[in-house]
Structure 1
């Protein structure tokens, strides 16, 4: 179990580096740093001519490959050691499947090129892989003190909201990735409107501005939704630390995400701010995924209770 826990921690942290590395590749326009060669770089095992974009792209490939190996080991040993836990096998499969899928999309983009709309899917797939690895890690650490589903009852209406919010968040990450890929991050010079001096001049928007403002709109609606559920949890789950603390973290993460989105405009797309923007949404989606796990357990307990 010590080896399994070490693998889990390394895989989770490694997947965060993969996410940040992918965002860094996009932000620095280093996607073709190795030319159209894959997995080699300009057709060479050791590149003879080193450039900044080559270093970024090659580093991302090496980190992704190393993390892929760790995830493969994690999935195998998890299946073998804690396969009796209901969620283990599914999460092990999802961890590998989506990690391989994102790698294939990245390779296809290098070899044959892809549209910005297809490339924007890449980040969402990485998020799903990260969430699966994170949940697998939580399952491994639960072995010491198993979580009892009976101690937390999440009503069906709340479960539906959690599931829906996770899907909606993936859709928002797609719009955010699309903003990056079509280079629309700074097409609106103001915040929260595209032009604060003339906020409703929708007829003057070009395509890139519509994408940017569309992303801001759906992100704003998510913030309102999370705020609503946060207040609801504080009122109705006073005895549940997991719900209260968990949704407090969710709210604070999304608040930080909104502030970072505004800072991207105010700082002229500062690279550190942009990478933090990607990191925070990954943490937020990870928290949502944990509540999906808790909701699934609560639903199963509810079903078993009604059957008995």
Structure 2
């Protein structure tokens, strides 16, 4: 029984990644209206006769979201019954399904009635919370905390502050990135890392401000995670979870920055853009794990 639950947890976590990447694909290819204003059907039909690439992308994303949504619901109920005695299980079970349902409703509302870019930008972030909840639920099922003896970790005040603060800040960076996509501001600045566009000046319109705001936010989180990683390497060598965890986080944020730059240099190459979304998904998962460790470890006052 427990082995089957583990397989379901892993499959659901992978499915959530497909939902996030699929949502980015829909946005990047402008396929949000691939099925017209019809939802959950496509142009009012289960399978329209006139097939287009945008219709296939949108319909596939809806299908994957529906299947994974059922998997999340089953996982939440099953985990609640199997490991409900673990403190975080019920909370994570609720979060995983609630936020997945919420992102589905926002997506449906956007199709039926349309939404502003600022509201649509929340879509990816809401899906990320659901992904993080499923990911952490999977870790609980595999009893990762016991394996790494997380209950013996001691986290000092500075590390506690950084874990919470950078995790919250990462969500703002993610929102700003989603806003870049939804406002179609990805290529409004032809240079990187600055937005010169043939003449050095401050951003001259909303799209340039959105793009440069995201770059500035991404630059800050890169420097911040680099600093925390250096701190962890110096002071947490004997606590391998934090030591290697922050090294992984730094590698992911480096890949995220590189992918962001390559998006500009390759004029919005689709595969690089999807990798950009993948790296931030993984980074948010790692930061969420740090939050879980923070909540379960002894505190050094």
Q: Deviations over 1:218-247 (max 9, x none)?
A: 110000000110000001001111111110
Give 1:302 shift.
3.8
Give the 3-state SS of the residue equivalent to 1:31 in structure 2.
Answer: coil
Question: Are residue 41 (structure 1) and residue 42 (structure 2) matched?
Answer: yes
Q: Deviations over 1:187-241 (max 9, x none)?
A: 0001010117644x11x52110111001000110000000110000001001111
- State the TM-score, normalized to the length of structure 2: 0.96
Identify unmatched segments of 5+ residues in structure 2: none
Give the stretch that moved more between structures: 147-156 or 111-120: 147-156
Question: Are residue 124 (structure 1) and residue 125 (structure 2) matched?
Answer: yes
Question: Are residue 293 (structure 1) and residue 283 (structure 2) matched?
Answer: no
Change in Cα spacing, 1:24 to 1:293, as seen in structure 2 (3 Å) is: same
Give 1:55 shift.
0.3
Give the 3-state SS of the residue equivalent to 2:155 in structure 1.
Answer: coil
Which residue of the partner structure matches residue 192 of structure 2?
Answer: 191
Give matches, 1:135-214, under 5 Å: 135-142=136-143, 145-195=146-196, 198-199=199-200, 201-202=201-202, 205-214=204-213
Q: Could you tell me whether the CA contact under 8 Å between 2:156 and 2:299 is conserved in 1?
A: no
Q: Could you tell me whether the CA contact under 8 Å between 2:80 and 2:90 is conserved in 1?
A: yes
Give the stretch that moved more between structures: 143-152 or 219-228: 143-152
Which residue of the partner structure matches residue 77 of structure 1?
Answer: 78
Give the 3-state SS of the residue equivalent to 1:166 in structure 2.
Answer: helix
The separation in 2 between residues aligned to 1:109 and 1:205, in whole angstroms, is 29
Which residue of the partner structure matches residue 247 of structure 2?
Answer: 248
Change in Cα spacing, 1:143 to 1:151, as seen in structure 2 (3 Å) is: closer
The separation in 2 between residues aligned to 1:222 and 1:144, in whole angstroms, is 27
Q: Could you tell me whether the CA contact under 8 Å between 2:145 and 2:151 is conserved in 1?
A: no
Change in Cα spacing, 1:71 to 1:150, as seen in structure 2 (3 Å) is: closer
The separation in 2 between residues aligned to 1:198 and 1:155, in whole angstroms, is 47
The separation in 1 between residues aligned to 2:125 and 2:144, in whole angstroms, is 29
The separation in 1 between residues aligned to 2:151 and 2:181, in whole angstroms, is 44
Change in Cα spacing, 1:73 to 1:167, as seen in structure 2 (3 Å) is: same
Which residue of the partner structure matches residue 60 of structure 1?
Answer: 61
Q: Could you tell me whether the CA contact under 8 Å between 2:155 and 2:299 is conserved in 1?
A: no
Number of matched residues?
Answer: 300
Question: Are residue 239 (structure 1) and residue 238 (structure 2) matched?
Answer: yes
User: RMSD between aligned alpha carbons?
Assistant: 1.5
Give 1:143 shift.
7.1
Give the 3-state SS of the residue equivalent to 1:106 in structure 2.
Answer: helix
Where do 4+ consecutive residues of structure 1 move more than 6 Å?
none
Question: Are residue 220 (structure 1) and residue 219 (structure 2) matched?
Answer: yes
The separation in 2 between residues aligned to 1:225 and 1:144, in whole angstroms, is 26
Give 1:166 shift.
1.1
Which residue of the partner structure matches residue 88 of structure 1?
Answer: 89
- State the TM-score, normalized to the length of structure 1: 0.94
Identify unmatched segments of 5+ residues in structure 1: none
Question: Are residue 269 (structure 1) and residue 268 (structure 2) matched?
Answer: yes
The separation in 2 between residues aligned to 1:172 and 1:72, in whole angstroms, is 29
Q: Could you tell me whether the CA contact under 8 Å between 2:72 and 2:97 is conserved in 1?
A: yes
Which residue of the partner structure matches residue 8 of structure 2?
Answer: 7
